Structure 1
Amino acid sequence: MLSLRQIEAFQAVVESGSFHGAARRLGTTQPAISKRIAEMEAALGVVLFDRSRKQVTLTLAGEMLLPESRAMLDLRARMTNAVLDPTLFAGTVRIGVTELVALTFLPNWVSAVREAFPRLRLRPEVGLAGTFLRGLREAALDLAILPGQRPVEALLDSRPLGAVEMAWMRRPVAAAEAGPIPAAALSSHVVLAQSEGSGLQAAANAWLAEQGATPDVVLSSNSLSALCSLTIAGLGTALLPRARFAAQVVAGRLQEVTTEPALPPLPYWVVFRRDGLHRITGCMAELAEATADFARGDTL
């Protein structure tokens, strides 16, 4: 007879690509995962994985079983959610947010979540989108707020949070251009960029490549606040959220560099795993939609 623990192990091996990754995801040991899979194969009388390569792959029998295993785990999640009173949930939810979220609506969102789930423990982490997307895939995170393209994966659910207007900014110069400059003209600018793994920078790099712009990137940082300070100091041109740093423009410390075409708004998504916490994280996603405001918060 098959058990849910065996099916869970099977699904984890498929999603992580290895027995070691499945063990890490489920918080157990590799021998324990191997034992569950071996028991499952013995019960079914088939081999489910080709173990001859570094990354295990499904056999034909495994491919046939995969949709059924997913359906079984989805049913377990629905059964759990049907009887779970969210307000009584006392577990921990691991969250990843980018700096812009932390600087703007994170306090309001956390307050709303705490009011809805008074016994819930939150573990927020501030960092880069690339790291958080890997964390969601590997079950190291339960929910994250990410910029850029919407992740379309069977393992993940998502909700839109709107889009952020971005602007190229520099220290004010007396002989500023009268109107927009061709986007390709950014090639003559010294650019201050966000670090590798930044969703904002990935979108900027893709747009620059489309426009044929090849600016000289002399410095990168994982902090928007640091990039703003470096830009004010005259060390280069940086791509910054327009509303967030509008006060610096009004005060004469920053100046926008408008381009033709303009950089499109950067979409943000709240992304969460389709697992046993889906009902809780789904409610948290709705609260994020209700509180998202990328312009609020104290300015530098």
Structure 2
Amino acid sequence: MNIRFLETFIWLARLQNFRLTAEKLHTTQAAVSSRIASLEESFDVRLFDRNSRSATLTPAGRKMLAYAERIVRLGDEMRREVEDASGDAGLIRIGVVESIVHSWFPALMARVRERFPHLEVEVTSDTTIHLVQLLRADAVDLILQTDSLPDRDFVNHPLCEFPMRWVASPTLGLAGQLVALERLAELPILSFSRHSGPHTAVEREFARAVERPVRINCISSVAAMIRLVSDGFGVAALPPAIIQRELHDGSLEVLDVESAFAPLPLVASYRLQSHPLPARIAELATEQARAFVAALGPELEGQNARAAAAAPAKAAEVAKVAAKNPRSRKR
């Protein structure tokens, strides 16, 4: 049964005129007649009483009209659902780490809303470790986080990298001088959640330079960590990209520390065998992340340049400190 033929049947029943029906459907009167004849042959009934001016429904045609209208409505509904499933509507579940939430994620959501106006977005903010677990359990469709998944079942889409720097409140009086890791070890150290990439990097830095064990306070909430450091509770290694407001208002400052962290990578991950929508949003995330980094480029380069300019003096001062305090060197 051809739905187009049923649509022709419905319009002819309404307009009761072959010419008007042909104009409505942008076709010819011959095509309208052929479609009606095909339906009558399929059901072995006469659907219309015809004369030179009009076409009126027969009793059989009146019974068939209600069914035809239901079938056409179902066809329209099915078409809309299929079109929605192609990516312009539906639900996407996104997991995101706070380092992204505090930087370019709001701008990404604005672009998603513009590109997919009928799409419903469900967002979960958590640590990378937990987000990976959610993705593996099919509890989310896409995660924006810090680790590439080694499994072949997943796609890893590089987004951008955030430089990491030691930061503190000006109330601690650490700015404007070279700060040794030994000095930082005397203060409360705040870090990302345990076993995360940034936490492992902090542990490695102190193990390299400080002989005694260092206590690291792990905090899963980046917002809480920023607030504690701003209030002078301790120091933390954070991406300057996510604390621009605090750096501008002076509640946080970047320290000159004898330490060099690898940049924090940001990655979009989703299942290889999944709906095309996660891949499309991952592409938007890549564009937005790179635009964000490019916009902050001069400021981040300025912070890097200040650190590079201090490098010769830093090396000399570190050597002097080490000479005066042999215990600072690992045996």
2:251 aligned residue (247, 250, 253): 253
Q: Is the 8 A contact 1:146 1:199 kept in 2?
A: no
Correspondence 1:262 to 2:260: yes
Separation (CA, whole Å) in 2 of partners of 1:120 and 1:188:
50
Indicate the residue corresponding to 1:286 in structure 2.
Answer: 283
Separation (CA, whole Å) in 1 of partners of 2:246 and 2:109:
27
Q: CA deviation at 1:133?
A: 0.7
Indicate the residue corresponding to 1:121 in structure 2.
Answer: 120
Q: Deviations over 1:50-78 (max 9, x none)?
A: xxxxxxxxxxxxxxxxxxxxxxxxxxxxx
Q: CA deviation at 1:85?
A: 7.9
Partner SS, residue 270 of structure 1: strand
Q: Is the 8 A contact 1:156 1:274 kept in 2?
A: yes
Indicate the residue corresponding to 2:11 in structure 1.
Answer: none
Going from structure 1 to structure 2, the CA distance change for 1:247 and 1:115 (only over 3 Å counts) comes to closer
User: RMSD in angstroms over aligned alpha carbons?
Assistant: 2.9
Separation (CA, whole Å) in 2 of partners of 1:252 and 1:117:
39
Q: CA deviation at 1:184?
A: 5.5
Q: Is the 8 A contact 2:168 2:230 kept in 1?
A: yes
Partner SS, residue 232 of structure 2: coil
Going from structure 1 to structure 2, the CA distance change for 1:125 and 1:175 (only over 3 Å counts) comes to closer
Q: Deviations over 1:135-181 (max 9, x none)?
A: 1122221110111x422211110111111122111222576375444
Number of aligned positions between the proteins? 211
Indicate the residue corresponding to 1:137 in structure 2.
Answer: 136
Amino acid at match of 2:121: L
2:150 aligned residue (145, 152, 158): 152
Q: Is the 8 A contact 2:172 2:232 kept in 1?
A: no
Going from structure 1 to structure 2, the CA distance change for 1:110 and 1:196 (only over 3 Å counts) comes to same
Q: Is the 8 A contact 1:112 1:287 kept in 2?
A: yes
Q: CA deviation at 1:124?
A: 0.9
Q: Deviations over 1:241-272 (max 9, x none)?
A: 21332443444322322222311211110111
1:225 aligned residue (216, 223, 233): 223
Q: CA deviation at 1:193?
A: 2.4
Amino acid at match of 1:264: A
Indicate the residue corresponding to 1:46 in structure 2.
Answer: none
Going from structure 1 to structure 2, the CA distance change for 1:88 and 1:181 (only over 3 Å counts) comes to closer
Q: Is the 8 A contact 2:191 2:236 kept in 1?
A: yes
Separation (CA, whole Å) in 2 of partners of 1:88 and 1:269:
22
Amino acid at match of 2:274: G
Determine which structure has more spread, i.e. the larger CA radius of gyration.
2
Q: Deviations over 1:169-213 (max 9, x none)?
A: 122257637544444654333212233364433443344445557
Q: Is the 8 A contact 1:157 1:272 kept in 2?
A: yes
Separation (CA, whole Å) in 2 of partners of 1:211 and 1:129:
27
Worse overlay, 208-217 or 130-139: 208-217
Going from structure 1 to structure 2, the CA distance change for 1:118 and 1:202 (only over 3 Å counts) comes to farther
Indicate the residue corresponding to 1:34 in structure 2.
Answer: none
Indicate the residue corresponding to 2:4 in structure 1.
Answer: none
Separation (CA, whole Å) in 1 of partners of 2:128 and 2:97:
7
Q: CA deviation at 1:290?
A: 0.8
Separation (CA, whole Å) in 2 of partners of 1:179 and 1:191:
19
Q: CA deviation at 1:224?
A: 1.9
Q: Is the 8 A contact 2:134 2:140 kept in 1?
A: yes
Separation (CA, whole Å) in 2 of partners of 1:165 and 1:117:
32
Amino acid at match of 1:125: T
Partner SS, residue 243 of structure 1: helix
Structure 1 residue runs of 5 or longer lacking an equivalent are 1-82
Amino acid at match of 1:280: L
Indicate the residue corresponding to 1:196 in structure 2.
Answer: 194
- Higher relative CO (Cα under 8 Å, sequence separation at least 6) belongs to 1
Q: Is the 8 A contact 1:129 1:199 kept in 2?
A: no
Amino acid at match of 1:282: A
Separation (CA, whole Å) in 2 of partners of 1:85 and 1:211:
57
Q: Is the 8 A contact 1:159 1:271 kept in 2?
A: yes
Indicate the residue corresponding to 1:176 in structure 2.
Answer: 174
Going from structure 1 to structure 2, the CA distance change for 1:210 and 1:163 (only over 3 Å counts) comes to farther
Going from structure 1 to structure 2, the CA distance change for 1:87 and 1:110 (only over 3 Å counts) comes to farther
